[in-house]
A and B are shown apart, each in its own frame.
Chain A
Amino acid sequence: MIKKISVGIADMKITRQEGVLITYALGSCIGISFYDPMIKLGALLHIMLPQKQGTDTNVFKFADSGIPETLRKLQAFGAMKSRMVCKIAGGAKMFEMKGPGGLGNIGERNAQMVKMALMKEGIRVMGEDTGANYARTMLLDVGNGKVSIRSAGKPEKFL
């Protein structure tokens, strides 16, 4: 029985050697998987919004604060940025937000900010499944580094 570790919204989990990190139903949020194949260390981060504002203490809520913090933790466990395999999923546009108070296309802004934050850290995105208008569940198998995406009415997809 492979252990499953579930990652919530605005949350991040790290595990090594074996186990599956899973985050359910990413809508406009983005799941970012990090994997160092040499030491079989993986992390899954689930961010909700692009940019930190003010004094919010929840670092994993935002792309621009969650990504550096996740990398810092991974490096503390011995991961190397140069070996890091990073994949992203989510950032869908669940509804057409036309109202004046709307956030616009939050999913797209999330995706842009995630890519910018990763670029700033010198990490290339090796696989991506973002945009469109449906929710995705993202899984990272830490035993082999495989990332898969489940969505309703579509076959499972490997990034």
Chain B
Amino acid sequence: MGIQKYEEMNALAIDMLRELGSIGGGNAATALSSMLNAKVNMALPEVKIMGFNQAMHLLGHPEELVAAIFVEMSGEMHGVMLFILTKEFSDAILEKMLGKSSADFLALEEIDTSVLTEIGNIVISSYVTAMSSLCNVEVELSVPQFTVNMLGGIMSVPIAMMGQHSDRIMMITGKFKIDGRALDSNMLLLPDVESLNVLMKKLGVIDG
């Protein structure tokens, strides 16, 4: 039996998702680390099921300016992956990769945005690759999109995508830190309900 709503997931299924987040996130951290040639730590991922407004406030004030890389999933799983970077985190990346001290967040040069997009792309792809090979699901990713915008506006995109059929959204979050510095970036995986059923079937959490 599949689930119809996110809140129907049992503890076993949530554990499974947390484990997937951990494996995917670990892979992503390794990729990030080798690209930046720095130590990258990842906090234990969390699985959160929450209302829209909670989701908006989860990562910070909705008006906070952040950079985000956005990828849509299709194939056997549908949903969205977001890699959200604070100003500090993006500065740290640009410093490591391009030797720039501090860029104007609202007037990034083309080279800056392509570096950040590529970093996001690699981090997201390595996350999804780990997850899809572990569960044997085929996932295709769209061309990554980059924006610098208010956090709330960015979060409203997956919320609107999931919102047609649900009053809650589910996300698997992972936080990265570079060189132990408290520079936050967040990796969010937001699958739709049907994709969760696919995952749970493949991993034998539910019969099918």
Q: Is B154 interfacial (CB 8 A cutoff)?
A: yes
The interface residues of chain B, by DSSP majority, are classed as: mixed
0/1 interface trace, chain B 26-68, chain A, CB 8 Å (1 if under): 0000000000000000000000000011001000011101000
Q: Is B152 interfacial (CB 8 A cutoff)?
A: yes
0/1 interface trace, chain B 53-88, chain A, CB 8 Å (1 if under): 100100001110100001011100010000000000
Instruction: State which of A9, A58, A99, A153 has its C-beta within 8 Å of the C-beta of B159.
Output: A9
Chain B residues with CB below 8 A from A25, complex form: 56, 62-63, 150-153, 155-156
| Alpha-carbon separation in the docked complex, A101 to B142 (Å) | 10
Instruction: State which of B65, B149, B164 has its C-beta within 8 Å of the C-beta of A49.
Output: B164
Chain A residues with CB below 8 A from B70, complex form: 94-95
Q: Which B residue's beta carbon lies closest to that of A102? A: B72
Q: Are A48 and B163 in contact, CB atoms less than 8 angstroms apart?
A: yes
Chain A residues with CB below 8 A from B106, complex form: 152-153
Chain A residues with CB below 8 A from B56, complex form: 8-9, 24-25
Instruction: State which of A10, A26, A28, A99 has its C-beta within 8 Å of the C-beta of B72.
Output: A99
Chain A residues with CB below 8 A from B155, complex form: 25, 27
Interface band, chain A: 35 or more
By the criterion of a CB under 8 Å from any partner CB, how many residues of chain B are at the interface? Answer: 34
Instruction: State which of A11, A53, A94 has its C-beta within 8 Å of the C-beta of B149.
Output: A94
| Alpha-carbon separation in the docked complex, A109 to B28 (Å) | 35
Q: Are B65 and A27 in contact, CB atoms less than 8 angstroms apart?
A: no
Q: Is B145 interfacial (CB 8 A cutoff)?
A: yes
Chain A residues with CB below 8 A from B182, complex form: none
Q: How far is the CB of B138 from chain A (nearest CB, A)?
A: 14
Query: A9-B156, A94-B149 known; 15 other A-B pairs, CB under 8 Å?
Result: A9-B56, A9-B159, A24-B56, A24-B62, A27-B154, A49-B160, A98-B72, A103-B160, A133-B147, A135-B149, A135-B154, A137-B62, A152-B106, A152-B148, A152-B150
Q: Could you pull out 9 A-B pairs where Cβ atoms are within 8 angstroms? A: A24-B150, A25-B62, A25-B152, A94-B149, A98-B143, A102-B142, A103-B161, A134-B153, A152-B106
Chain A interface (Cβ < 8 Å from any Cβ of B)? 8-11, 24-29, 48-49, 53, 56, 58, 61, 92, 94-103, 106, 133-137, 150-153
Chain B interface (Cβ < 8 Å from any Cβ of A)? 52-53, 56, 61-63, 65, 70, 72-74, 78, 106, 142-143, 145, 147-157, 159-161, 163-165, 167
